[in-house]
Amino acid sequence: MVKSKYHYVCQSCGYSSPKWLGRCPECGAWDSLTEEAQPLAAASRSYLPAAQGVLEPKKLSGIAQQEVGRLTSGIRELDRVLGGGLVRGSLVLLGGSPGIGKSTILLDAALCYSKKGLKPLYVSGEESEEQTALRAKRLGGGQAELAILTATDLNAILQTAQKMKPDILIIDSIQTMYWPALAAGAGSVGQVRECTAQLLQFAKTTNIACLLIGHVTKDGTIAGPRLLEHMVDVVLQFDGDRSYNFRILRALKNRFGSTQESGIFSMEAGGLKEVANPAGLFLENRREGVSGSTIGALLEGNRPILAEFQALLAKTPYGLPRRTAVGFDYNRVNLLIAVLERHLNLDLGSYDAYVNVVGGLKAAEPAADLPVAAALVSSYRSKSLPALTLLFGEVGLTGEVRKVAEPERRILEAYALGFRNFIVPKGRLQMRREQVTEARIYQAGTLAEAIGAALGSKDK
Ligand code: TYD
Ligand code: MG
């Protein structure tokens, strides 16, 4: 039987089919299959000769334990998220939406590595050498010895790198690279996968650390195949709202360190600056004593960040009330409103409700439930919370307040910023009284108790 040279590959999950389909049976995406050439090796796969000899497993004790060499850039937030520095021979993928600052952070890192005497090679498939140099100048490192290249042929790039032997190879966007032996266009699943596989092999055989930039699609996943995330050692995600200047770097996967770490930066005219103490970053420009506003503590990685939650209730002009949420899950707003109606006997059915997390922050953590619920009631009663009050806790459907991770760290961080009233879930707190001498900590078992502590009883 003659096998076709072409097949159809789903651009969102990598599923392959011999004929075109309107909908991918694997991931359900519509119109996502495009024609690609068969990988060359595929035809011969089933005719592999029998393995020669038997493999020999080693005893754990017999394997030489080497300290992994880590390359530090001196950008502490980046080094920390990488688990203490970049590991030689590792393959790191940095994902993020367009314009968020991926090229900026990696070029900045390249400049820093170069200043420390390491040899990075920065390859851009998107910008000319002049553009990259201009950006480097903007970052204050125009004079460095950094090697820059504009190219998209990965084969040529790897051969160049093999000859030059850099310590670190940076590829500015895997989606612009192509492997010449493959007929598909750059950015297609086939190319992205092949290029990553080639880079993986390159990194492991040469012991050069490779940093790849990957674009992110609208729904927030790294464009092309998710398979890519399985191939690399470390997946970093660069997040933030483009209308604001803060950026958060997270590790979604790290074979050499924890995924609990996060790095917080602010985007300035001269590039990204580290924010060493981010807890109070989002509280600037805040007015005290207004109704519909509360402060909650969220965990970003394992660092507490204080955020302002705002809610506005307004009489519904027509029958059906509107609910909108920015920076908070819309469905959770509906859930909290239902819980408030049922367990606090509030009549919210005739009110539109708007919820907003200030500063472009996305509060995905359940600990944000309590501050949101309190902000809703505060707006409903047109009554503000006492000054310097901090809340956090998950709200359950039966009206209970549930525990969240690391209450002590949230309290201590807020205490250091001047907060004195705390409304938190019930549970033993593992901290010494001397650490928070002036704090009044109210432990609420139910939402009704928490609201009572924050805003007093209804008739007042
Ligand atoms: P960039 O790194 O090009 O984004 P990505 O590679 O993720 O697409 O960042 C682009 C944005 O960053 C751009 O809108 C301008 C801004 N920026 C600054 O504010 N200050 C700077 O020093 C630099 C280099 C960029
Ligand atoms: Mg870029």
Residue 43 scores a pLDDT above 50: no
| Cα distances (Å, whole numbers) of residue 117 to 8, 110, 361 | 47, 11, 37
Q: What is the DSSP letter of 38?
A: P
Record the pTM.
Answer: 0.79
Buried b or exposed e, range 175-206, using 16+ CB within 10 angstroms: bbbbbeebebebbbbbbbbbbbebbbebbeeb
Residue 223 has pLDDT above 60, yes or no: no
Q: 59-85 pLDDT, tens per residue?
A: 888 777 666 778 999 899 999 999 999
CA distances from 12 to 18, 40, 208, 217, 384 (A): 17, 22, 29, 10, 48
Supply the pLDDT for residue 328: 94
User: How far, CA to CA in Å, does 437 sit from each of 152, 189, 336, 389?
Assistant: 61, 58, 33, 16
Ligand 2 centre to CA of 257 (Å) is 26
Q: From the alpha carbon of 98, which atom of ligand 1 is closest?
A: 8
Cα–Cα distance, 266 to 250 (Å, whole number): 14
Alpha-helix runs per DSSP H in 292-368: 330-343
> Among 33-42, 228-237, 278-287, 297-306, which stretch is predicted with the lowest mean pLDDT?
33-42
Length of the chain (residues)? 460
> Is the pLDDT score of 26 beyond 70?
yes
d(CA 429, CA 54): 56
Instruction: State how far the Cα of 73 lies from the Cα of 79, in Å rounded to an integer.
Output: 7
**Lowest mean pLDDT, pick from 93-107, 210-224, 299-313:** 210-224
Query: Which residues lie with the beta carbon below 6 Å from any ligand 1 atom?
Result: 96, 98-104, 135, 138-139, 267, 269-271
Q: What integer is the mean pLDDT of 237-242?
A: 85
A 10 A CB-CB count for 221 gives: 15
| Cβ(168)–Cβ(113) below 8 Å | yes
What pLDDT is attached to residue 41?
Answer: 54
Place of tokens 């969240």: 404
Q: Which of 123, 124, 222, 267 to mutate to test the pocket of ligand 1 (most atoms within 8 A of CB)?
A: 267
How many Å apart are CA 425 and CA 418, to the nearest integer? 20
Residue nearest to atom 10 of ligand 1 (CA): 99
How does residue 315 score in pLDDT terms, banded at 50, 70 and 90? very high
Atom of ligand 1 nearest to the CA of 138: 22
Sign of torsion over alpha carbons 121, 124, 129, 135: negative
Could you identify the atom of ligand 1 that is nearest to the CA of residue 269? 20
What count of Cα atoms within 13 Å lies in the side-chain half-sphere of residue 144? 30
Which residues are within 8 A (CB) of 63 and not within 5 positions of it... i.e. 6 or more apart?
none
> Residue 65 C-alpha to ligand 1 middle, in angstroms?
41
The percent of residues in the chain predicted with pLDDT above 90, rounded, is: 53
DSSP per-residue string spanning 386-425: PTTEEE--EE-TTSBEE--S-HHHHHHHHHHTT--EEEEE
Could you count the other beta carbons within 10 Å of the beta carbon of residue 276? 8
Average pLDDT over residues 434-438: 88
Residues with CB under 5 A from ligand 2 (ion): 103
The closest alpha carbon to 265, from 237, 246, 284, belongs to: 246
How far CA 63 is from CA of 9, 57, 70, 257, 376, in Å, comes to: 41, 11, 20, 21, 59
Q: How confident is the model at residue 221, as a pLDDT?
A: 60
Query: Beta strand 168-172 with 262-268: parallel, antiparallel or unpaired?
Result: unpaired
